[in-house]
Homo-oligomer: A and B are copies of this chain.
């Protein structure tokens, strides 16, 4: 039972989480139709929980719905991705600035552990791509948490990271990006350690824009093939 949380999960919760996983991992492809009936049959529940799960996918930004027609998994264009990166820049730069004002020594230590863990990864040592699912994810989560702003944290974790993950995965193979990203992460942590909000925000902005350039070129490359 991985159901050790305080309140017992409802069927809708379970279906929702499993669909999110399936989308993020790639088992359900972008643009796929999401039929209430199909989901209900697939997970052995009635249409109620299936329908509810789809609503929550829509709220999360992973699906689009049209009344009386149905829902589909979002299929982001390059423009959509640009919009998403702009949104992420707004949220995460603010989170980083607030974190510089409010972060505790223990939270700084967590970030430094993250960096150490990343530096030891074989991909980094070999100079290849360093992004593994959940890898720098932890890093960004820790910063969002250190902002001590619950709404900001939830906006990032619920509505940004999971939506971007399938597309970041595609673009994480660029050679050399691993070490570059690690350097940028170090700059962010350094600014946070010295509690310099302006520097922290600037370092995060530089990191996200660099990540966008990388994602953009990978996206265009993938489209040509």
Contacts and interface: CB of A to CB of B under 8 A. Distances in A.
A83 B152 contact: yes
B10 A67 contact: yes
Nearest to A155: B87
Copies of this chain, count: 2
A152 B86 contact: yes
Interface string A54-84: 0110010100001110000000000010011
Interface range on chain A (Cβ under 8 Å from partner): 20 to 34
A80 B150 CA distance: 9
Interface of A: 7-10, 13, 52, 55-56, 59, 61, 66-68, 80, 83-84, 86-87, 89-91, 93-94, 98, 149-152, 155, 159
23 contacts: A7-B66, A7-B67, A7-B68, A8-B68, A9-B67, A10-B68, A13-B67, A55-B55, A55-B56, A61-B151, A80-B151, A83-B150, A83-B152, A86-B98, A86-B149, A86-B152, A87-B149, A87-B152, A87-B155, A89-B94, A90-B90, A90-B94, A155-B159
